Structure 1
């Protein structure tokens, strides 16, 4: 066996098959980039909806409970937009957060604006809440691969 010198690597070099991205990693990177964009857009709309609720909605709706519901929807959307950014590399958690924000916050927004027209969305709100909870549980008990890998654009 030849003697090792200081330039020899301590770990074996990866074979070319390991260093070439597979379709699965390319697919994961693409979905991560999509979830990243969805999260950023969701965060921006949450801030906009929150501002509208604090300023513009008061001219249209006088009920403090409805205004509080709107604020809750905006708050949950914003918090879960950040969670979606962090979970963008975990497609299951990211999908649950996306579905949960859409159903939970979206149904509250619609019900606040026009409860008669959107009455059918009442049962959607708790389903969205369950999706949000499930997203957190997937993060807690799912496969962990270290810190999130942010997509490159």
Structure 2
């Protein structure tokens, strides 16, 4: 009799455990589907081609919030001090579009360039990466007079 009672108790306990586990999984799925979504309208990479050293390149990465809650860009950092991002500080509502303006100053840079811009937001994953790439031709060296 004790064995039957123990088996019934274990079966009921396991069924409660499985139910709460599946409800938790569904709740997590629902919460993540409602989170803000940082969706780029164009590409995450911009090739500025070939420029002369000292030139400044600007590009706007357009994006849309495809989530159900406001998107907040917490911070944006770049892999180099020569690359400066500007971004909206106010929340971007669901289905709204905005842009991140990136400025690359090629002064004292030459050769192939790849600059990474990391966007931190209230999304899952918590960050996205953008890239600027191209080639900078070295400025001609001034000739010394003899």
Structure with a larger share of its residues in helix: 1
TM-score by length of 2: 0.27
Taking structure 1 as the reference length, the TM-score comes to 0.26
- Which has the greater radius of gyration? 2
